Structure 1
Amino acid sequence: MKTFYGRADPSMGGIDCEEEDEEYDYHQEIARSSFADMLHDQDRNIKYYQGIKAAVQRVKARGEKVTVLDIGTGTGLLSMMAVTAGADYCYAVEVFNPMADAAVTIVKRNGFADKIKVINKHSTEVTVGPDGDMLTRANILVTELFDTELIGEGALPSYEHAHIHLMQRGCEAVPHRATIYAQLVESERLWSWTQLQPIDVDDGKRLLPPPAAVSCSGAPSVCDIQLSQVSPQSFTALGPLCTMFRVDFSQPVSSASQSYSSQFQVQASGRAQVVLSWWDIDMDPEGSIVCSMAPSWTYADPQEGPWRDHWMQSVYFLPSEMAVREGEEVRLTVTHDDYSLWYNLSSSPQTSTGSLLDRPMCTCQAHLVWNRPRFGELNDRHRNRSYIKALRRVLKSDSVCLGISDGSLLPILASMTGAQKVFSIENSGMSRQVIEQILECNSLKDEVQLLGMQPEQVTSEDLEGHKVSVLMGEPYFSSSLLPWHSLYFWYCRTALAQTLQPNATILPSSATLYIMGVQFQDLWRIRAPSGTCEGFDVTPMDEMVQQSLDYRESREAEPHHLWEYPCRGLTDPQPVMTFNFQKCLPEQPISSQGSVPLLRGGRCHGVAMWMEFQLTDEITLSMGLLEPVSEKGACKWSPHRKQGVYFLKSSWDSVGDGRASVAYNLTFDPKLGDIKMDFSVASP
C-alpha cells in the first residue's frame, strides 16, 4: 500500500503530496517529537519518581504485590522508575510501533526485561487474563497522557477504560489528581489574535471589520503558547486565579461532557476578553508532590519556574468581549468534552455548575481562513502604517494594481489610498468570501475585483484589458512554513510577467535572507541528546532521533516562533541572500557561502534565519528581528511569522573574540523553491 504525506512546496504555493516509504511514520514522528524535551524535564522526572515511589510504598504497606500499568510508556522511563521503586511487575503500553521497539531495547539495556513487559497496543485494546496481554489487573496506574490542555490527547477516555477493564478497585494512580486553573484578563495584544480591528488609512478613512466577524464567537480551539513570554504588563487581571475543576485519577473517570463554574467579584473594571489557563498535577493523595504548569511570572523568582515545551499554557478567547466593573459578581464557566475545553462568562449568578454550554464555533469564516498569528499580523498598527506609507509612495491616480497574497487586506488598502483599479488573486473560495464581506462592509465591492484563479491563468481579459502598473504582495501564503517559502511571490511575479507594464512597480521590490548565530535559553533541549536520564540509559532514543534527523531533517531548518523562545545573538545579523523581485525568477540556483564571526561569549546552539522585505527604497519590513541586537545579544522577534532555526550537530562554546565564526553554505534552488543549507563553526 502506498503512503503519501503533505509537504510544503514553495514553488507552487501549496501543499504537495509525495509518496513515502513504509518508514515514514517513524521518521516524521520521531524527528519532530518532544521526547527529548520530556527526558530533559528534570522537574517532571523527579516528581514522577517521587510519586511512583510513594504509591509503591502505600501498596506494599497493605501487604499486596505491586503490579503497575504504565499507559503511554514512551521510552519506558516511568516503568523503570516503578521497578526501581520496588514494583513486582510492570506492564508498559505504547501504541507507536517504533517507540515500543525503543522501549523494549531500553528496558533490556537497563536490566529490567524480566520485570517489564512492553505491550505494543493502544490501552483500550489491552486484555487481561491467562491468554491476555496482562495476567492480572494492576493496582498502580502510571500515565503521562497529558498535553497543554490536559485532556487533548484523550486522557479521559483512556482513564475511563483503564478503570473499568484494567485496574483493580481502589487502585493508586500517579499522578493522583489534576487541577485546572483560569484567570480572566483584558489584553489588547491577546485579543488582537482573534478579532479583526479597524484600520486607520488616511483622510479619516477607516477599514472596518464586517459585522459577521465582530459578532462571531471565533475559533473553538485552544491557543497554546509559552505564556511565560507574555509580559504581565500586556494584560490586566480582572479577577483572581480560579480553581475551575479537579480530576481524581485514582477513581473511575468519566469522559462525558461536563461544565464547572467559579463565581467571583471583578477586581478591576475593564473588558473581559481572554482566559489564561494552566494546570498542575499532584503526584500523591496529600498533594505534597506537585508538578505545576504555572508560567514563570507567577513565581516569586521567575528563574525558579521550570521550562517545558511538551506542556505549555493555554489562552482561551471568550465568544465576545464583555464590559465588567470592579466589585461586580460574575461567573466564569468552563465546559469540556472528551478532548477539549472552552470558556464563557456570565453576569448571571443563576448559571449553575453542571449545565453544558455550547462549544464556540466560527460563523464568519475568518477564523477558518486566518490563524491566530495572522490575526495579530493584520491588526499590527506599525505594519499597517508601513504598507500604507509604501502604497502612497508608489500609487498614482491611474495605477492598476494586482495583489498576490492569501486573505490579504493590501489590495483593499490600495483602493482606499487612491488606485484607479485593483485586482486581487484569491484562490481559496473561503478566503474570497471573507474578503468579499470586508469589501461589502466598506462599500468597496465595485472597487476591488477578486480573481479566483492561479497566477499563470490570469489573462488580459481577466484584467479587463488593463496592464498592471503595481504588482503587490505582503507577501503572505497560508501554506508557508519557513521564511523563504514566501518567495512564492517571486514565482507568481514571473508567471504574471506578460500582464505587467514595462516599468511596473513591484512591491516588495526585493527580499533579503538574514542569519544569526544564537544561544538559546531553553529551546536547545528539544534537540539535545538525552544519554542518561535519572540514572537510566536511554541512548536508544538518541539513536532513533539521530537516525530520523539524518533521514529527513538533516541540513534543514525548523520553523519556530522565536518570541516564545528567548535567545542571545552571538553574531551580528548577516544578510546572506537577496532576491530581486524586479526581475523574473532565474533558472539557475543562487548560492552564498561565507562566515559570520562570533562576537559574544556563550554557547552557540544554532542559527536563526528570517526574511526582510524591501517595500520601497526607504521602507523595509522585517519578519524576524524587530530591533537591533543589544550589546549583550538580547533579541526582539516578530510575533507574527515563524523564523527558521538550524540546530548545529554540536553546540559550540564561544569566547566572543571574533576569531571563531559560523560558516554557512546556502543554495536556493528555483526548481524546488527551497534552500539547501549547511552550517558549522569554524575556529582558527
Structure 2
Amino acid sequence: MSSIGASQRIFQLKFDPLSGNSEWVVIEEIEAPEEKQEPLLATTSYLDMLNDSRRNRAYREAINKTITRPCHVLDIGAGTGLLSMMAARAMGLQESTTSCSSKAKVSACESYLPMFKLMRKVLRANGLEKKIHVINKRSDELKVGEDISSRADVLVSEILDSELLGEGLIPTLQHAHDNLLVENPQTVPYRATTYGQLVESPNLWKLHDLFNNEAKILDGVYLAPKGVDSILHIKQQQFSMHCDAMKDEIKLLSEPFRVFDFEFWKRPESHEETEVHIEATNDGTIHAIVSWWLLQLDEEGTIFYCTGPKWISQSSSSSESKLLFPGTGDWCDHWKQCVWFLPEQGLPVCKNQSIDLAATHTETSVSYKVKIPSKKKDTDLCDWSSSDNQIFLPPERIAVYGDRRWRLSMLNAIKNSLQQKVAPMCMVVDDSLFLPVAVANLYKSSHVIALFPGLRQKGAHHLQAIASANSYTVDHIEVPQTRKQQLTLQDTHQRRIDLLLGEPFYYGTENMLPWQNLRFWKERTLLDPILSENAMTIPRKGMLRACAMFLPDLWRSRCCLHDIEGFDHAVVNSTLGACGDLPANEEAPFLPFSIWQCGETKRLSNIVSIMDFDFSKPISPCSGTAQVKFEESGICHGFVLWIDWLLDSSTEISTGPDERYWKQAVKLLKEPIAVGKQATGHGGYHSTELEASFDPSSGDLSIKHAFS
C-alpha cells in the first residue's frame, strides 16, 4: 500500500490579488486530525458534491446492486473515498477483521495530493484504511503489477462536470479499458446520455452578441465594429449556468431531444457526429441550446441521476420527457445545466417548423450547429479564426460592455472628470477594453496609455483593429511593450497623469472575491509619483456594502458533513471550508457566488455601507462598522458583501445581489439564526453589528458580527 509520512510538503500556487503575481509556496500539511488546517479546498466543488444526497444515494444503490460477489474494484478520481468505501461495504470488507476473500479488494486512485491525504483520513476514521489500497497517481499512470495487482472487474467513478466530458471522461475510460479493466467489466455508472432543448431568451442573447447590442446603443464607442467583430467574443463552448434561475425569462421552442450516449462499460470513441431532427413547438428566435445529462447508474436502468432544469418535468407535454425526467433534486452547484449560444441574433423559427441540429463531440467537449432544412443559410459556427490576437471574454463581461446603462455611466464620469482639461494625459491601469476607446473617442486631443496587465499585446492589437471605427488614430492610444513594476515620467513622455481609470476589471480573475479588484488601488498607489497635482481617478471610491440573507440552498450545499450513506466524513470539514457546527475558533471562508443563481434567496435586512476605499489617497489599512437592521422575519444563513464603485461625485455602479453580471462574496454563519423586525414581536435577533477590516499587505478582508 502506498504511504506518506505524517508530514509532507505540499506545493500550492498562491495568487496575490493586489499585484496579480503568482508564486509556488510550500505548505506543511499535517495529517494529525487534531491539528487546525486552513481550508485548502474551500473553493472546490467537493463539499457541495458530498452534500448532494440524491447523488450519494444513487451511487450507493447502484454499487450495492452491481457488486454482489467478491471482486477487484477500481475507483478512479476517488476524492474522499466515498465510492471506494461503498464498494468495500458491498463486499463485506467493512465488517470483516480479515479479507473475506482474496478476490475482494478495492483500489482507489486520486492524483491531487491534498485530496489524497484527506481520503486517507476519511478511510482511517471509518476503519477502512487497511482495507482499501490507495494510490496517489493519475489513472493513466497506473500499471498492472506495480500499482494494482491485477485488472479490475468493476469500475466505479465520478469524473463528470456539468458538460459531462470536461474532466476527461473519454480519455480516462479509454485508458482504463485498454490497460486497467478486464474484458466486459461492470461499471458504475453504466451509461450517460446528453440532452438539449432550444430556447429563446433575450438575456442569454445579451451574454454573447456584443456587435448587435452596440449597434442599438449609438454612443459612438464600438468594441466589436462590423468587419472586425470576430476579434472580441466568447469562446465556442458550452457555459455552465443555473438555468432554473432564468426560467421566467426563457421561452421553450422545442421538446427535450437526445444527443449522445456514452457507455462506461465499453471503450468510447474520441470523436463522434450525429444529426438530430427537431420540430419547433413555438414561434420565436432560437438564442441558445440548454443542455444537460442523464446518468444511468445500473445496467438494468432503474437508478438515474439527472442534471436537467426543473422545468422539464413541470412544463413538458411529452410523456417520454416526464418518464425520463421525473423531477430534480435540491439545488446544487457542482453540476449545472450548460448553454450553447447561437451566433449573432439567433435563428427565427415558426411553430411546427423542422430544424436540423448537427452535434459533434471531441474528447472533452460537445458543440452544435443549427440549420433549417428549407433555407440556404445555416447558423454555422461563427467565422472566428484561430488568430493569436483574438480576445475571449466571459459572457458576463460581454454583457457589461453591451449594457447601455453601464456605458452611459462610464462616459458621463469621463466627461465630468475631464471637463476642465484641454489635452489630458490619461492612463487605464486595468484590462478594460472600453475605457481607452471611450476616452480617445470623447477627447481627440487626449493621449491614453493602456497598461493591459493581463491582455498585453492582445489588447494593443484590438485597439489598432477598431481605431477607424471609433474615429481615433493608432498613435492616440499607447500600450507599453514591456511590463514594469514601477512606471516613471520617462514612460509618460515627461507628462504627469491627469486621469487614472479602471472599471476595475482584470483579465482572468472572474472568480475572485469583490475586494480583490482593489488591485486598482494598489496600482494607483504605485503611480502616485507621476500623478498630476489635481489628478482624478475613475472610480473615485469603492464602498464595501453588505446585507443579511436567507440562503437555504447555498447553506445546505456548504454545511458540515457528518454521516454520508453510513460513512463518517466529519474529518473533512475544516479542509473543505464547511459552515455550521464548527469549533469555536473556526469560521466559514468567504466564497464568490452570483447570488441570483443560488437557488432560493431573500434579503432580510437593509443594505449597509461598512467602509470606503478612497482612491484619491495611497492604499492603506481600512476598517469600519455598520448596524444591520432586519426588515424581514426569517432565518439568516449569512451575509452577502460586495463593492459599489463611485465613479465621480454622483455616478455610482453597483455590483450587488440584484446585478446579473458580477459575483458577490458570501460569508455563511456557523449556524442559521432566527431574525425579525423588533416591532413584530416574533422573537429572534433584531439587528447585528458588522465590523470589517482590510489588510493591504495581503489583500485580505476580515469581518466580525455580533447579533443583538
CA-CA distance at 1:315 after TM superposition: 1.5
Are residues 1:78 and 2:83 paired? yes
Identity %: 27
Which residue, 321, 325, 331 being the options, matches 2:356? 331
Matches within 5 A, 1:70-109: 70-86=75-91, 89-95=104-110, 96-109=112-125
Cα pair 1:6 1:15 within 8 Å, conserved? no
CA-CA distance at 1:420 after TM superposition: 3.7
Q: 1:49 to 1:97 in 2, by over 3 A?
A: same
Q: 1:140 to 1:459 in 2, by over 3 A?
A: closer
Alpha-carbon separation, structure 2, partners of 1:175 and 1:675: 42
Which of 268-277 and 150-159 deviates more? 268-277
Partner of 2:566: 535
Structure 2 residue matching 1:21: 3-state secondary structure: strand
Partner of 2:21: 15
Cα pair 1:411 1:422 within 8 Å, conserved? no
Alpha-carbon separation, structure 2, partners of 1:463 and 1:119: 56
Structure 1 residue matching 2:177: 3-state secondary structure: helix
Partner of 2:463: 435
Structure 2 residue matching 1:30: 3-state secondary structure: coil
CA-CA distance at 1:278 after TM superposition: 0.7
CA-CA distance at 1:578 after TM superposition: 1.1
Partner of 1:515: 546
Partner of 2:332: 308
Cα pair 2:88 2:106 within 8 Å, conserved? no
Cα pair 2:689 2:706 within 8 Å, conserved? yes
Cα pair 2:436 2:477 within 8 Å, conserved? no
Alpha-carbon separation, structure 2, partners of 1:309 and 1:181: 19
Are residues 1:545 and 2:576 paired? yes
Partner of 2:398: 375
Are residues 1:52 and 2:63 paired? yes
Matches within 5 A, 1:269-418: 271-300=285-314, 305-318=329-342, 323-326=347-350, 327-347=352-372, 363=386, 368-396=391-419, 398=422, 400=424, 402-404=426-428, 405-418=430-443
Instruction: Give the aligned residue type for 1:46.
Output: R
Alpha-carbon separation, structure 2, partners of 1:201 and 1:242: 34
- 1:630-657: CA deviation from partner (whole Å, max 9, x where unpaired): xxxxxx2x22222122233444343554
Q: 1:590 to 1:28 in 2, by over 3 A?
A: closer
Q: 1:541 to 1:503 in 2, by over 3 A?
A: closer
CA-CA distance at 1:497 after TM superposition: 4.3
Cα pair 2:308 2:328 within 8 Å, conserved? no
Which residue, 223, 231, 244 being the options, matches 1:228? 244
Q: 1:72 to 1:205 in 2, by over 3 A?
A: closer
CA-CA distance at 1:532 after TM superposition: 0.8
Alpha-carbon separation, structure 2, partners of 1:53 and 1:247: 22
CA-CA distance at 1:576 after TM superposition: 0.9
Partner of 2:607: 573
Cα pair 2:674 2:685 within 8 Å, conserved? no
Cα pair 1:663 1:682 within 8 Å, conserved? yes
- 1:200-257: CA deviation from partner (whole Å, max 9, x where unpaired): 7998746362323348885134311222222342x4444432200111222x222422
Alpha-carbon separation, structure 1, partners of 2:576 and 2:220: 54
Alpha-carbon separation, structure 2, partners of 1:671 and 1:98: 27
Alpha-carbon separation, structure 1, partners of 2:495 and 2:548: 47
Partner of 1:168: 182
CA-CA distance at 1:366 after TM superposition: 7.4
Q: 1:451 to 1:30 in 2, by over 3 A?
A: closer
Are residues 1:157 and 2:171 paired? yes
Cα pair 2:205 2:345 within 8 Å, conserved? no
Q: 1:28 to 1:661 in 2, by over 3 A?
A: same
Cα pair 2:262 2:268 within 8 Å, conserved? no
Alpha-carbon separation, structure 2, partners of 1:476 and 1:660: 37
Instruction: Give the aligned residue type for 1:506.
Output: T
CA-CA distance at 1:390 after TM superposition: 3.2
Cα pair 2:608 2:628 within 8 Å, conserved? yes
- 1:445-469: CA deviation from partner (whole Å, max 9, x where unpaired): 2584223266976566665666554
Partner of 1:559: 592
Which of 133-142 and 71-80 deviates more? 133-142
Structure 2 unaligned spans of 5+:
1-7, 32-36, 93-99, 316-325, 679-683
Which of 149-158 and 443-452 deviates more? 443-452
Partner of 2:321: none
Alpha-carbon separation, structure 2, partners of 1:217 and 1:31: 31
- 1:423-455: CA deviation from partner (whole Å, max 9, x where unpaired): 132331111212222223333225842232669
Partner of 2:50: 39
TM-score by length of 1: 0.83
Alpha-carbon separation, structure 2, partners of 1:317 and 1:367: 18
Are residues 1:259 and 2:273 paired? yes
Instruction: Give the aligned residue type for 1:608.
Output: V
Alpha-carbon separation, structure 2, partners of 1:547 and 1:188: 37
Matches within 5 A, 1:605-620: 605-620=637-652
Q: 1:162 to 1:361 in 2, by over 3 A?
A: farther
Cα pair 2:233 2:393 within 8 Å, conserved? no
Alpha-carbon separation, structure 2, partners of 1:358 and 1:578: 46
Q: 1:369 to 1:216 in 2, by over 3 A?
A: closer
Partner of 2:504: 475
Q: 1:182 to 1:448 in 2, by over 3 A?
A: farther
What CA RMSD, in Å, does the superposition of the two structures yield over aligned residues?
3.8
Structure 2 residue matching 1:433: 3-state secondary structure: helix
Cα pair 1:217 1:318 within 8 Å, conserved? no
CA-CA distance at 1:36 after TM superposition: 1.8
Q: 1:422 to 1:276 in 2, by over 3 A?
A: farther
Instruction: Give the aligned residue type for 1:82.
Output: A
CA-CA distance at 1:328 after TM superposition: 4.5
Are residues 1:648 and 2:673 paired? no
Cα pair 1:216 1:320 within 8 Å, conserved? no
Cα pair 1:216 1:363 within 8 Å, conserved? no
Cα pair 2:81 2:123 within 8 Å, conserved? yes
CA-CA distance at 1:358 after TM superposition: 9.4
CA-CA distance at 1:181 after TM superposition: 0.7
Q: 1:229 to 1:589 in 2, by over 3 A?
A: same
Partner of 1:207: 222
Structure 1 residue matching 2:438: 3-state secondary structure: helix
Q: 1:216 to 1:184 in 2, by over 3 A?
A: farther
Cα pair 2:220 2:470 within 8 Å, conserved? no
Instruction: Give the aligned residue type for 1:576.
Output: I
Cα pair 2:427 2:448 within 8 Å, conserved? yes
Partner of 1:242: 257
Which of 391-400 and 515-524 deviates more? 391-400
